[in-house]
């Protein structure tokens, strides 16, 4: 038994992350009838660069840092994808993550090709000043190599980076640019005061919420997995309380009525079957530097062990490859919602399908970030905040309609009722309302498309999501006439 497990683990690692993504791609491609050459082109990673540059540490010493950027597909331009700061960053990871970005953008109809980049550092070991020097120099290298620009390649936040780093990238690019009027659109996920869009920070987590909510909305599907429809009261375990994990957990609890029973972070995990308050856990972590010893909760020694806790929905929201052939047999969750990229290896996927676990795949579920990045990019190119020209007009219009109804109908509203109706109805959408509404519509629509493919081809959700991506990318190649 031990030998078999070792062989499985070895087989997984020899395939690599990009190999695993391609295995999932091939499985889906078998359900399409596209030309083999087209399929080969969709799979291939177009460009990848690796570079090294020196930075000065605060103590005056010089350290050489390694950076990467991969542009997987140029069937749409610009290419788009996050920048990750982690020691795991390597060529294989960048190729895999950029491929997932291509498929993700296609699934949610966002007109970008896929890209991804990263710097091979543990950001916790650097001061803010050092991180700023690394980010600026990394951007300079990208610009010199033509791997960044509003119409070329547009980075965004990912693991270990956030709006602070995006502001540094934007500032560096703007300094280098030749008075490019659209320079702000060279990166998304910026702070709102610097061209960012309201709702981007929590967009991936909010998208995860909309995706899970939609998945739980179908009586027939829930019945198949022995669950009640709806999110209310569902027990959830989440791994990773960073940008994606924190917002997903917070919104699932506050808006979905779900019960967050387990939270795992780098230092270990906590479990309380009666439910944890996400905000209280975050406050406790801020006070004590750890989620452990949270009042009323049981400590679980390792983050990995928390993946095996009993729950309805397990949400890995940290890094890839956390559910493998080794631990997949021990997973107790009925649904795995892949908020992180690539958390389930392809061999684990086979085991989980066998166990009848429903997987909501990463290529769909964490697409909220790139969807709202698209809204930010559009805002930067149009040089106007979403809703700025229509909000007041919409408010007034709704008020005018109500007053006209009041005058034209026999119904004579009393003045208080009329005023209260006007207050409720005459509401012009601000930027955040528009962004959230666009995000909700995108996630809901994409889920329905994938589910339809799943039903039609009798496949699992991941295969259906890849089929959706392959069909859309193949169509755009074919329409462009690249394959006459
Ligand atoms: P983040 O850096 O904000 O947060 C990651 C969190 O995971 C951190 O709190 C970290 O301490 C924790 N963590 C690290 N190792 C862990 C472990 N072994 N167990 C438990 N927790 C651990 O990163 P993020 O932006 O939230 O990204 C998380 C995942 O979501 C990544 O796979 C990323 O590619 C994916 N993703 C992010 C975005 C985005 O908009 N930020 C979009 C799509 C996908």
226-272 confidence digits (pLDDT tens): 999 999 999 999 999 999 999 999 999 999 999 999 999 999 999 99
Please tell me the residue having the least CA distance from ligand 1 atom 20: 265
pLDDT of residue 249: 98
Query: In the predicted model, is pLDDT for residue 200 greater than 80?
Result: yes
- CA-atom Rg of the chain in angstroms: 24
Q: How far is CA 313 from CA 239, 332, 336, in A?
A: 11, 9, 6
Alpha carbons 141 and 155: distance in angstroms, whole number: 13
Which domains are seen in the chain, by residue range? 50-193 (3.40.50.10860), 197-390+429-484 (3.40.50.720)
Helix extents (H) in 145-230: 163-176, 203-215, 219-224
Q: Which atom of ligand 1 is nearest to the CA of 320?
A: 32
8 vs 439, residue with greater confidence: 439
Between 431 and 33, where is the model more confident? Answer: 33
Q: Which of 80, 104, 116, 472 is catalytic?
A: 116
Is pLDDT of 144 > 80? yes
pLDDT digits (tens, 9 = 90+) for 6-32: 556 566 668 899 999 999 999 999 999
0.85 surpassed by pTM: yes
Q: Any idea which of 2-16, 188-202, 306-320 has the lowest mean pLDDT? A: 2-16
pLDDT at 484 over 50: no
- For residue 118, report the distance from its CA to the centre of ligand 1, in Å: 14
| Token pair recorded at residue 427 | 């509401």
Average pLDDT, the chain: 93
Provide the CA 281 distance to its chain's centre, in angstroms: 23
Test site for ligand 1: of 161, 202, 240, most ligand atoms within 8 A of the Cβ: 240
- 244, 262, 263: residue to mutate for ligand 1 pocket, most atoms within 8 A of CB: 244
Two tokens, residue 56: 């000065």
Please identify, by atom number, the ligand 1 atom nearest to the C-alpha of residue 104. Answer: 43
pLDDT in tens, 366-392: 999 999 999 999 999 999 888 887 888
**What count of other Cβ atoms lies within 10 Å of the Cβ of residue 85?**
25
Confidence of residue 415 (pLDDT cuts 50, 70, 90): confident
Task: Give the span between the Cα atoms of 97 and 18, in whole angstroms.
Answer: 8
Angle of helix 368-382 relative to helix 431-457, nearest 10 degrees?
140
Task: Compute, in angstroms, the gap from residue 1 CA to the centroid of ligand 1.
Answer: 33
Question: Cα(33) to centroid of ligand 1, in Å?
Answer: 36
Q: DSSP letters along 113-139, please?
A: EEEEEEE-S-GGGS-HHHHHHHHHHHH
Among 1-5, 188-192, 282-286, 411-415, whose mean pLDDT is lowest?
1-5
Largest Cα span, the chain: 83
| Mean pLDDT, range 153-167, rounded to an integer | 97
**Which residues form the pocket of ligand 1, taking CB atoms under 6 Å from any ligand atom?**
82, 157-160, 204, 239-245, 264-266, 303, 317-319, 339-341, 366, 369
The SS3 assignment for 146 reads coil
How far is 475 from 38, CA to CA, in rounded Å? Answer: 10
What was the pLDDT predicted at 412?
65
The answer, yes or no, to whether residue 48 has pLDDT greater than 60, is: yes
% of the chain beyond a pLDDT of 70: 96
339 and 243 in contact (C-beta within 8 Å)? no
CA separation for the pair 115, 101 (Å, rounded): 6
CA 326 – ligand 1 centroid, Å: 22
Alpha-carbon span 57 to 201, nearest angstrom: 29
Nearest 5°: CA angle at 124, between 120 and 127?
Answer: 100
| Cα-to-centroid distance, 452 and ligand 1 (Å) | 30
* Statement: residue 402 has pLDDT above 70: yes
Tokens in use for 218?
A: 């179908």
List pLDDT tens digits, range 268-298. Answer: 999 999 999 999 999 999 999 999 999 999 9
Q: What are the structure tokens assigned to 250, written together?
A: 């917070």
In the numeric block, the tokens 């709702």 are attached to 199
- pLDDT score at 10: 60
Which residue's alpha carbon is at the smallest distance from atom 42 of ligand 1? 369
Give catalytic status of residue 23 as yes or no: no
Give residue 316 CA to ligand 1 midpoint distance, Å.
Answer: 9
- Dihedral angle over CA of 328, 332, 334, 340, nearest 10: -50
C-beta separation of 120 from 83 below 8 A? no
Tokens for 371, please give them: 């969807």
305: Cα within 13 Å, side-chain hemisphere: 10
Q: How confident is the model at residue 479 (pLDDT cuts 50, 70, 90)?
A: confident
What is the average pLDDT across 122-141?
98
> Among 318, 340, 343, 345, which is best to mutate for testing ligand 1, by the most ligand atoms less than 8 A from CB?
318
Closest of 364, 248, 357 to residue 307, by C-alpha: 357
> Of the ranges 181-195, 349-363, 413-427, which one carries the lowest mean pLDDT score?
413-427
Pocket test for ligand 1, best of 207, 243, 302 (most atoms within 8 A of CB): 243
Q: Which two tokens stand for residue 402?
A: 């109500």
What is the Å distance from ligand 1's center to 419 Cα?
A: 47
Which residue CA neighbors atom 17 of ligand 1 most closely? Answer: 266
Atom of ligand 1 lying closest to residue 189 CA: 40
pLDDT bucket at 3, cuts 50 / 70 / 90: very low
406: preceding bond cis by omega (within 30 degrees):
no
Question: So what's the pLDDT on residue 6?
Answer: 54
What pLDDT was estimated at residue 122?
97
């Amino acid at each position: 038994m031990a030998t078999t497990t070792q062989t499985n683990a070895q087989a997984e690692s020899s395939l690599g992350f990009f190999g695993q993504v391609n295995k999932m791609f091939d499985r889906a491609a078998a359900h399409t009838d596209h030309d083999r050459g087209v399929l080969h082109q969709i799979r291939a990673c177009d460009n990848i660069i690796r570079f090294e540059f020196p930075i000065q540490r605060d103590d005056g010493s010089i350290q050489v840092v390694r950076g990467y950027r991969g542009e997987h597909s140029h069937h749409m331009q610009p290419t788009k994808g996050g920048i990750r700061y982690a020691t795991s960053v390597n060529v294989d990871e960048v190729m895999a993550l950029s491929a997932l970005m291509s498929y993700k953008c296609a699934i949610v109809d966002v007109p970008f090709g896929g890209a991804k980049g990263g710097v091979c550092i543990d950001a916790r070991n650097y001061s803010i000043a050092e991180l700023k020097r690394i980010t600026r120099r990394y951007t300079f290298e990208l610009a010199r190599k033509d791997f960044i620009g509003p119409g070329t390649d547009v980075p965004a936040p990912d693991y270990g980076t956030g709006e602070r780093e995006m502001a540094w990238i934007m500032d560096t690019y703007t300094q280098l640019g030749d008075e490019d009027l659209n320079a702000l659109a060279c990166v998304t996920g910026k702070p709102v005061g610097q061209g960012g869009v309201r709702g981007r920070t929590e967009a991936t987590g909010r998208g995860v919420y909309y995706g899970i909510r939609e998945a739980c909305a179908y009586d027939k599907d829930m019945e198949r997995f022995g669950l009640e429809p709806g999110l209310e009261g569902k027990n959830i375990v989440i791994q990773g309380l960073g940008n994606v994990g924190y917002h997903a957990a917070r919104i699932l609890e506050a808006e979905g009525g779900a019960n967050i029973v387990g939270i795992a972070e780098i230092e270990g995990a906590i479990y309380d079957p009666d439910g944890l308050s996400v905000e209280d856990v975050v406050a406790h972590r801020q006070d004590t530097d750890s989620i452990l010893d949270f009042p009323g909760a049981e400590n679980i020694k390792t983050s990995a062990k928390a993946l095996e806790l009993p729950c309805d929905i397990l949400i890995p929201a940290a890094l890839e490859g956390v559910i493998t052939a080794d631990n997949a047999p021990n997973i107790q969750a009925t649904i795995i919602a892949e908020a992180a990229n690539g958390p389930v290896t392809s061999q684990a996927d086979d085991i989980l399908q066998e166990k009848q676990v429903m997987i909501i795949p990463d290529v769909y579920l964490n697409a909220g970030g790139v969807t709202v990045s698209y809204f930010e990019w559009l805002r930067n190119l149009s040089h106007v905040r979403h809703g700025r020209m229509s909000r007041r007009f919409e408010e007034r219009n709704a008020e005018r309609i109500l007053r006209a109804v009041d005058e034209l109908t026999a119904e004579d509203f009393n003045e208080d009722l009329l005023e209260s109706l006007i207050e409720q109805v005459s509401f012009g959408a601000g930027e955040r309302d528009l962004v959230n509404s666009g995000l909700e519509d995108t996630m809901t629509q994409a889920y329905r498309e994938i589910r339809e493919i799943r039903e039609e081809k009798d496949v699992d959700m991941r295969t259906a999501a890849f089929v959706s991506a392959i069909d859309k990318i193949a169509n755009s190649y074919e329409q462009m006439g690249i394959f006459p």
